[in-house]
Structure 1
Amino acid sequence: MNFFFVLNGKSLKNVSLILIAAFFTAWFLYMENLVQIPVFSTKDSSNAIYRGEKDLALTFNIGWGDEKAEPILDVLKKENVRSATFFLAGSWAERHPDIVNRIVKEGYEIGILGYDYVDYLDVEDAQIAKDISKAQEAFTKLNVKDIKLLRAPTGHFDERTLKIAKRYGYTVVHWKIDSKDWQNPGVERIVENVSKVDNGDIVLLHASDSAKQTAKALPQILANIRQKGLKLVSVSEMIANGEVQSKEIN
């Protein structure tokens, strides 16, 4: 038995449009995964930094716990790493003023990781602003001055976050290389994830208690960075040293 499908001109046009849209959607998703470039800036010049023109920035998120931050600071000191950026949740900083003071005293940069662990995509503008404001107040009380950088607590953000952060005077910072250390995949895998670093990259690491293997992975990560001849800088130094890259949000 033979089957025949009869399409008029209008139906054929609709099918063609669907196929073209599907093709471009698939192509966009493929390219996004291939180059791993996040989408981070708005048409009114609000933007989030995910990489720079040169050098390399190690960033550490700390949102909770009191066991892993200091061992990581110990490794950085032992390895003579003088530039790194720590994104601290305001609520964590309030509970650990001594560690915050050590970070500042040892010359590392501090950025804000919000106040609570809030996904900015799931809340209203007012709650985003309140979370940033509470964090700002917490660091002011701790006498941590001139903070210019902010990272969304969960890493998720949109155009609203960029605009609100800009209103408070902050630049939103994402990352190009994700160590995935919070998954605790093993020291070798963390080292491998970071081994892809190149000039201008911002690396995401964690110093919260959930990241149990980061301190052990750090010496090899740093050895690989040195072998590549990359200079470690803070995120602010990276921004000051050259062009930074972002991509438009629609």
Structure 2
Amino acid sequence: MNFFMVLSARKIKQYGLVILTALFAAWFLFVQNMIHAPVFSTSEGPKAVYKGEKNLALTFNIGWGDERALPILKTLKKEKVKSATFFLSGAWAERHPDIVATIVKEGYEIGLLGYAYKDYSDIKDEEIVKDISKAHEVFKKLNVKSIVLLRAPTGHFDKRLLKIGERFGYSVVHWSIDSKDWTNPGVEKIVENVDQADKGDIILLHASDSAKQTNTALPQLLSEIRSKNLKLVTVSEMISNSSARNEEIE
């Protein structure tokens, strides 16, 4: 009898050790994932907007190139799109002041995409501040006023950018629908990716030269949006006219 009790005690101890080890490993992996996961809000402090409550926001990132932006602007005008938000890198804007002026003339909103195309999650705070400051000065010289939106150039960021953005007076903006147009998956695929958009979504598109199929996809994409009776607004309008969603995304 004692033999079996000792044996059972040993087994319980072994099983307990296995379970404890497994729990520790799971906790460690969870912590690691949390450290590397993109943070969309801090418990107390600034937040990043990725969605609203109603309407729809088209956003275009431009980081380089001089071939795609103007055709896209012409298509938007032809399609009578009055509201869109263009996130521009300072380096690109510096080289293409005429296109920046056209964006402003057409009444579209401009947001900041930093200066150089840097991954903010990989650089130090002071480097982020320097990059944003440099972009800020570029747009100031181009007489583009009242920029209130900031987007991480690569889309990767953490809570540091939220705090830095707040210091500059910018709202950090992400997206809820990724068209993946920069991968050039085909016009139909781009339209399909955007077709899932609904009220409050912020759509990511590109007007850089790497996105070769975006302009061709735009008319069909816009037709699908209109068929849902969704109104296009700028990101700022979406933020001001509704309660924007900014909770943490897993």
Distance 1:194 1:249 in 2: 20
Deviation, 1:5, is 11
Structure 2: tracts of 5 or more residues without a match: 1-6, 31-37
Give 1:200's aligned residue. Answer: 200
Please name the residue that 2:244 is paired with. Answer: 244
Give the alignment's Cα RMSD to 1 decimal: 2.5
C-alpha deviation, 1:10, in angstroms: 4.8
- Check 1:217–1:17 CA distance in 2 against 1; reply closer, same or farther (3 A cut): farther
For residues 27 and 232 of structure 2, the distance between their equivalents in structure 1, rounded to whole angstroms, comes to 39
What is the DSSP-based 3-state SS (H/G/I as helix, E as strand, rest coil) of the residue aligned with 1:57?
strand
Are the counterparts in 1 of residues 39 and 157 from structure 2 also a CA contact under 8 Å?
A: no
**Residue identity in the other structure for 1:224:** E
Q: Structure 1 residue 246: deviation in Å?
A: 1.5
Q: 1:21 to 1:188 in 2, by over 3 A?
A: farther
Corresponding residue for 1:16? 19
Q: Corresponding residue for 2:169?
A: 169
Aligned match of 2:146: 146
Q: Is the 8 A contact 1:43 1:248 kept in 2?
A: no
More deviation, 4-13/177-186: 4-13
Q: Show the counterpart of 1:122.
A: 122
Letter of the structure 2 residue corresponding to residue 201 of structure 1: D
Task: Provide the C-alpha distance between the structure 2 equivalents of 1:69 and 1:161, rounded to a whole number of angstroms.
Answer: 27
Once the two structures are superposed, the pairs formed by residues 25-40 of structure 1 within 5 Å of their partners are 39-40=39-40
Local SS of the residue matching 2:232? coil
Aligned residue pairs total 238
Q: Aligned partners of 2:168, 2:192: CA distance in 1, in Å?
A: 37
Q: Matched residues in 1 for 2:225 and 2:160: separation?
A: 35
Given that 1:39 and 1:247 are in contact with CA atoms closer than 8 Å, whether structure 2 keeps it comes out as no
Structure whose alpha-carbon radius of gyration is higher: 2
SS at match of 1:51: coil
1:212 alignment partner in structure 2? 212
Deviation at 1:15, TM superposition (A): 3.0
Paired residues of 2:58 and 2:85 also in contact (CA < 8 A): yes
Match for 1:213: what amino acid? Q
8 Å CA contact retained: 1:54, 1:242:
yes
Higher-helix-fraction structure: 2
Runs of 4+ more than 6 Å apart: 21-27
- Aligned-partner Cα distance in 2 for 1:5–1:125: 56
Any gaps of 5 or more consecutive residues in structure 1?
28-37
8 A contact 1:57–1:234 mirrored in 2: yes
Matching residue of 1:34: none
Matched, 1:232 2:232: yes
Q: 1:174 to 1:11 in 2, by over 3 A?
A: farther
